[in-house]
Chains A and B, each alone.
Chain A
């Protein structure tokens, strides 16, 4: 049985995700970082990045680890995180972000349009915000598109459901 760590992804409007995962992958302070179970206590700044949870088990599925026996890792959960902070304590990873979106909720076409607009501005030498906007759009697309390719790969391979929730 894989060791699990409790993960919460919190935005001002709501708690986007709360549950167990085997690994939490994100980009903190310019470096890709993976948090496994029982990581040491840590506080860090999270960059604009794709947050990846591996071996996800959402809270709604069970009362907690062990309550329903062996957790069944159904796949990965991705979210676009637009900057924030991460805190690890007592085998709990809390990611706090002003803006974050789950991959399945991202509107890829809109993000692509935003990316084009931002790149257009960049090439025209306009607006300092454009770079940040482009980065945000790229992360959105990355999170969403990878989810889609994974989905198709999975459906090619077999009948397993990917949706963690």
Chain B
């Protein structure tokens, strides 16, 4: 019956409206988080750059300790740090990182190498447990607003096995920001340190772009870097303590800084994807509301038409009944009244 349908539609519209309110508020929250996260990225940039500079300088001097620097030719034990979010509702953000991690794991295990997975974010926990992939270490409650202390905790677990030689290669699988509207899942080498300034160069400028700055500033930053590099070739440094010791002290700090930068970028990407996903959800809800309202109006119109028909039919029947009261028992009249 038409009245029943109308009620059902009204209820659906109400639920969709409240869902829309929720997605809208998530969208707004995410939007405010993005700018905060980008501010934090911008704040951390000088630090990451300074550490990379010092490390590059020291590494140029200390070419002998090859295990700590460069790209390992045949890593036997690989550690992967997977960074995802604690919460969902961020579109494909979590699943694309996890898929990339899974691909990496599969290729490594085909090569028959030792592989350890560490994960940041609750979503990784569920994913890897379901796939029976052992995870050596879990970190949660970091993705929303990562602090340097968080990065330090992660580095404290990752760096010692590397320095002790139990792990030859540490990789980070996470999302990086290309621009405000495009995030890319990347697998990067964290340790050993990529020493040449060319290779450490893209990193700070990459971070510069993440802050949503124009291409011009990124280019100028790269230019600064290049000129500084050529100047620095002339001067040579006094190191205290000696280079080997300094490297051993620098690498944990470098790892912390890199993990911190990765965490910040991942968090900014998470908020950006959440904002996109939630704005799409809000739009969908609006679309659905429009359609449902149209259907409901038609249903309401139908029921009104039917009611009018009934009234008209009834009065018609009464009139004809008044004309010929003996016809009241006539089956045709009764039928018309019932309509």
Contacts and interface: CB of A to CB of B under 8 A. Distances in A.
Interface of A: 8, 10-15, 28-29, 40-45, 84-85, 87, 89-90, 94, 96, 98-99
Nearest to B57: A43
B191 to A, nearest CB: 17
Q: Which of A28, A43, A84 has the most CB of B within 10 A?
A: A43
Contacts of B253: 84-85, 96, 98
Contacts of B235: 41, 89-90
A42 B47 CA distance: 18
A39 to B, nearest CB: 9
Interface of B: 40, 43-44, 46-47, 50-51, 53-54, 57-58, 148, 151-152, 231-232, 235-241, 245-246, 249-250, 253, 256-257, 260
A87 B238 CA distance: 10
14 contacts: A11-B148, A12-B151, A12-B256, A13-B40, A41-B235, A41-B237, A43-B54, A43-B57, A43-B240, A45-B245, A87-B54, A90-B235, A94-B53, A98-B256
A152 B136 CA distance: 55
Dominant secondary structure at the B interface:
helix
A11 B237 contact: no
B18 to A, nearest CB: 39
Given A43-B237, A89-B237, A13 B54 contact: no
A41 B47 contact: no
Contacts of B57: 43, 87
A138 to B, nearest CB: 21
B231 A13 contact: no
B50 A87 contact: yes
A51 B232 CA distance: 26
Given A85-B54, A89-B232, A98-B148, A12 B260 contact: yes
Rank and list the top 7 A-B pairs by shortest CB-CB distance, nearest first: A44-B240, A12-B148, A41-B235, A41-B237, A96-B50, A29-B240, A14-B43
A129 to B, nearest CB: 12
B46 A13 contact: no
Contacts of B257: 12
A52 B43 CA distance: 23
A29 B249 CA distance: 11
A28 B240 CA distance: 8
A43 B58 contact: yes
Contacts of B260: 12
Q: Which of A8, A14, A40 has the most CB of B within 10 A?
A: A14
Contacts of B54: 43, 85, 87, 94, 96
A84 B257 CA distance: 12
B238 A45 contact: no
Given A12-B47, A41-B235, A42-B239, 11 more contacts: A13-B43, A42-B237, A42-B238, A43-B238, A43-B239, A44-B240, A44-B246, A45-B240, A84-B253, A98-B148, A99-B148
A44 B239 contact: yes
A98 B148 CA distance: 8
B46 A15 contact: yes
Contacts of A13: 40, 43-44, 148
Nearest to A95: B50
Q: Which of B50, B152, B235 has the most CB of A within 10 A?
A: B50
B193 to A, nearest CB: 14
Nearest to A96: B50
A102 to B, nearest CB: 16
Contacts of A85: 51, 54, 249-250, 253
Nearest to A94: B50
A96 B152 CA distance: 15
A96 B231 contact: no
Given A12-B47, A98-B152, A98-B253, A40 B238 contact: yes
B53 A87 contact: yes
Contacts of B46: 8, 10, 15
Nearest to B241: A29
A45 B236 contact: no
Contacts of B50: 8, 10, 87, 94, 96
A61 B230 CA distance: 31
Contacts of B231: 90
A43 B51 CA distance: 11
